[in-house]
Amino acid sequence: MRAVTRTLARQKLYTAINIAGLALGISVFVTMSLIVRYEFGYDAYLPNTDSIYRADTVWRLPGSAPEEWPVASFFATSFLKQDFAGISDTLRVWPRTTAIRIRNGASREPLTQADAHFFSFFHLAVVSGNETQALTRPDWIAIPASLALKYFGTTQAVGKTMTLLDDGRTHIVSLVYADPPANTSFSFGIIELVPPDFIRRQMSTPESGLTYWGSTPGTLWVRIPNERDVDTIETGIARYVTRHPSAPSVAQARAYWGDSGLHLVGLRELHFHDAAIGWGGMHRQLVVILGLVGLSALATAAVNYVNMATARAGIRAREVAMRKVLGGTRRNLVAQFLSEAICLVASAAFIGLSLVELSLRSINALGGWHVTLAPSFTLPLLVIITLGVGTLAGLYPAFVLSSFRPAVVLATSRMPAGGRMASMLRNVLVTSQFTFAIALAVCTLVMKEQAYFVQHLARGIRTDGIIILDADGAAGRESAILQRLRAVPGVLMVERSNLYPHHLQSGGVFIREVTGATRSELAVGHVSSGFLDLYGLQLVAGRWFDPARSDDFEDPASSSDRRSDVPFVQGVVISALAAQRLGFPRIEDAYGQIIREASDPTPLRIIGIVRDVRLSGPHDSLRPVIFYGIRATGHTTADVAWQVRYSGVNEGLEMARLRAAWEDILPDTPIQAQSVPDILSADYRTDRNHSLLFGIGSAIAIGIACLGLYGLSIFHVSHRMHEIGIRKVLGARTRDILFLLSTQFIRPIIIANLIAWPLAWGIMRHWLDTFDQRITLTPVPFVLVTAAATLIAALTIAVQTWRAARKPPGATLRQI
């Protein structure tokens, strides 16, 4: 070991270059490994989940592409177990938020209403209480430990009480469960038994979530103990709507819902599956690519070591020859060279781990992760890296160096360089390094362009200066709230709607009443009369909702002055895409036409058509929308929020003013306030940060490759000093020598570009296909990266080649 450390200390430049490259490669590999572990570890904290599946709704509507939603109608629970013996149990979960009051304070928290056997599906870690008894009474609730600490100051909160303001009832804490880790698909919050009176009302309502396929109020879970039954059940529920129609007949069900049905998704698959269907999460391909980035960075660093060790073979040839003459065996020499490699990698691993620890906070901020440097994972990984990379990277150089014959080496003045095969191997390794680095750099540029495009995506609405105020429990106080909010300084408009970015939550099938009626699924929105000006929507034809026209807003049952012999026809506004989906030849032709919802006989007259508006994320397809008019006061449709346009004041100050105004009217009803720009920023922040992470990875990869190229050029040029001197004696000029040496290093980089281009093109084409609106993939980023990589490589080797080319021939020949 002393000989190993002495050798490494004597060759300072060689050691420094290798340690620097390996440290960077190891840091990238460990970081990416932690990210991959985090992403693939989603929901791993839940035990016994192999038999649990979520039943998603797959809409296969006439004239529309199939669309999967991670929610379902609970109408299916009454016959799933009867139809399929492989299903042992089902669970209904209604996710929502609620306002709660503790002592004199109030706030909003997530709420999960579920069946009594909730904890037989989700075995959450219990802090206090008994999970088998937690939901056996309607007034018992389970809360996470963080809420127990927040409101009671202790996790031993069993027996404490809190009031849910939605129903005014006081609930008793029956269980406190441990908060789930950050990489979970669920945020259950407060868990309560779904109220029995709510179930009774739902069962007596013709179009509720318990009696009608078209209502999808929550998540439906099924337990399938035997995995072999999954395929059979999947086939049976694929077109389940017509098998158990909630409509009067199978024919009507097929007319309403086509061949819609359910689809099973394993609990551990949800994270990646939801990303694939456009409902959050991260795409599996991106995580795999991040893992390959880390693996490639480590491989690039190892390749550097192999390249430099084989290139230095000539310098150490006499050392190897003398040791063999003095009795050293090949086994001893191999052991020494492998020990040198392992010691060098171990030193680099220590430095790499320090770099990971320093950068982890920034990496988490970029990707929205909560990755930690877990010793139980990191330390074994570093041991494997040290032994594995040290052995693999040092094995080839060890056998090359130990194979030199003493007599041949000592009898010649030239040092062996490994021959043509070694030179070819070094070129292949350099090419592979730059292939990876260039492909990654191209991907980075394309991702940055797409992120910029998404950030400036034309949405058809004005997004600046709007704040959303969302709250429950304000029924009956709308007029007072409206007046108070309008009185806030800086406020220009106050409107109400359940439509705002990423809030397209409800929809229905609508029919154009003509021969061969065209049906289409449209997103449904309720808007007050000022919504058009609030967001700057543009009319294509017709008009917007008029406050003076009762038919634009009122339900016929609520109009006392309406003549009973005059049929009620409600006015609606649709988007241009909705007009196309309903089969109108021209958008303008939809004006004045009658449509209706498949499940409702009330006729709807199209009074206006607006340009398309994008209220979903860039990965999601543009959806057709139908707008119903509502009054600014008195409307109780679910999820209707107050929407405020302001001007001439800082966003934070205006938000504080609006909160204060709200508390003046409803001090016990907390609100959630967020600006539309903040909501939209999530569309591009993730992709922008991922492109930045790729940029860091590509910069490090190119840096490692160039670091190795620099070290390789030092030894390569020193080995050819005799040749350079002879060429200059024979009349070669400095620029000739410079061109000769440079082209030999640039050639593998040119080849790397030719390989990297189709590779990056294919990856980016696949990635861009996940966006509904995307940039056009052009040669520009490929040309820019090629030029930059070639220039960086040329500058890397320029110093050494320039010095060698300018040396006088006499000095060069005397040096040999």
pLDDT tens digits, residue range 129-148? 999 999 999 999 999 999 99
**Which amino acid is located at 313 in the chain?**
A
Concatenate the DSSP letters of all residues of 386-399 into one string: HHHHHHHHHHHHHH
- pLDDT at residue 66, rounded to an integer: 84
- The 3-class SS string of 699-748 reads HHHHHHHHHHHHHHHHHHHHHCHHHHHHHHHCCCCHHHHHHHHHHHHHHH
- pLDDT at residue 65, rounded to an integer: 75
- pLDDT at residue 562, rounded to an integer: 47
Lowest mean pLDDT among 497-511, 610-624, 702-716, 787-801: 702-716
pLDDT tens digits, residue range 434-492? 888 888 888 888 888 887 787 666 677 788 899 999 876 677 788 888 899 999 999 99
- pLDDT at residue 712, rounded to an integer: 65
Q: Is the pLDDT of residue 416 over 60?
A: no
Q: Answer with the residue of higher pLDDT: 68 or 729.
A: 68
- pLDDT at residue 556, rounded to an integer: 44
pLDDT tens digits, residue range 537-554? 999 999 999 988 888 885
- pLDDT at residue 560, rounded to an integer: 43
Q: What is the DSSP letter of 218?
A: B
- pLDDT at residue 559, rounded to an integer: 45
Mean pLDDT of 4-23: 72
How far apart are the C-alpha atoms of 414 and 409, rounded to whole Å? 8
Q: Is the pLDDT of residue 804 over 60?
A: yes
> Could you tell me the pLDDT band of residue 557, with boundaries at 50, 70 and 90?
very low
> Could you tell me the pLDDT band of residue 243, with boundaries at 50, 70 and 90?
confident
Q: Is the pLDDT of residue 284 over 80?
A: yes
pLDDT tens digits, residue range 69-98? 899 999 999 899 999 999 999 999 999 888
Q: Is the pLDDT of residue 101 over 90?
A: no
- pLDDT at residue 179, rounded to an integer: 94
Alpha-carbon distance values, 89 to 14, 113, 123, 353 (Å): 65, 17, 15, 47
Q: Where are the domains of the chain?
A: 1-46+283-416, 61-259, 472-669
How far apart are the C-alpha atoms of 174 and 143, rounded to whole Å? 8
Q: Is the pLDDT of residue 117 over 90?
A: yes
- pLDDT at residue 302, rounded to an integer: 82
pLDDT tens digits, residue range 172-229? 999 999 999 999 988 899 999 998 888 888 888 877 888 888 788 899 999 999 999 9
In total, the chain counts a number of residues equal to 816
pLDDT above 70 coverage of the chain, percent: 81
Q: Answer with the residue of higher pLDDT: 783 or 257.
A: 783
How far apart are the C-alpha atoms of 758 and 752, rounded to whole Å? 11
- pLDDT at residue 315, rounded to an integer: 60
Identify the residue whose tokens are 């073979």. 313
Alpha-carbon distance values, 683 to 90, 502, 620 (Å): 35, 10, 10
